[in-house]
Each structure stands twice: as structure tokens, then as C-alpha cells.
Amino acid sequence: MLHARRIALALGSNLGDRAATIEHAIADLRDTPGFVVVDCSPLYVTPPAGGPPQGDYLNGAVLVSTALPARDVLARTQAIERSLGRVRPDPVRWGPRTIDIDILWIEGECIDEPGLEVPHPRLEGRVFALRPLLDVAPDATHPRTGKRYDELPAAHLPMMRA
């Protein structure tokens, strides 16, 4: 059995009542057996990263503590996405969505499996994921290299709070 460790989850939405959807997702995470919500970042307004023309996102992060295996964490977050109207596979790559919950970082773990890569493969260059991660886990480091995420250039780019 795994020991409890910190896991940072990114939450993003750009359809419907974005803030309400993210708040509902956080409530669902709090109600998820095996998860303890430790902290939540502020929400940020960010432009979409690629994809077709679409509205701005609200993005944030939640830090949970859990002993669940990463695959179980993924399954539970995807169940929350489905309950909030997310359809997978996405009809349009990087298209608009009601909710997106990604595993950004797992303390001390690197995973490279089909459908699950942790740390998130684009974390280091995406301020909309990196800054919320650092809000909830300011001491986060890359599990393989030991590099501190707060030392990355993207960690210091400006962002607008919601």
C-alpha cells in the first residue's frame, strides 16, 4: 500500500458558469473517499493554450493528500469531470470544456504510462498550471531532477486573478 503523499490537481473551465463549475469540482474532490483536500489556489483568468478560437479559462489548483495509486486518482478525477459534463475523448483537441482536471504533480513520483504522465508533460512552460501549483505547494520540485518549480521562468510571469 502506498503512503499518503501530496498531489496537485489543475482545474480549468471556459464554458458556462466557470467559477461555479470549479467550486462544484472542488466540493466533489472533498467528498471523494480517500482524498483529503489540503489547499486550494486562487482562480486565474487565462487565455486558451492552443486549439480553436474560444473564451478565456478560469484556472486553479487543488492540493490533495491521498494514499491512492495514481491510476485511481485519475479515475476519480475523470468521474468528476463526467459528472460535470466533460466528454472524452474531446471532440476538438484543446477545445472549450466545462471542466478539465489534470494531475499536475505527485510528490516524489514520476509516471510515464499510456494515458498518464506525471509530472504533467507541459507543466514547466504553462504559467496557468505552474502558478496555481506553486500557490498550493510552493516547495514543489520535479521528482526526477529535484529542480524547484519556483525557479522556472514561467513561475514569475504575470497572471490576472479572477
Which residues are annotated as catalytic?
86, 97, 100, 102
Eight-class DSSP state of 87: -
Picking from 12, 35, 5, the residue whose alpha carbon sits closest to that of residue 108 is 5
Picking from 77, 78, 64, the residue whose alpha carbon sits closest to that of residue 35 is 64
Write the CA distances from 82 to 39, 75, 124, integer angstroms.
Answer: 23, 11, 27
Positive or negative: CA dihedral 117, 65, 124, 147: negative
* 139, 147 Cβ separation under 8 angstroms: no
Residue type, 18: R
Picking from 142, 8, 132, the residue whose alpha carbon sits closest to that of residue 66 is 8
Distance CA 6, CA 38 (A): 9
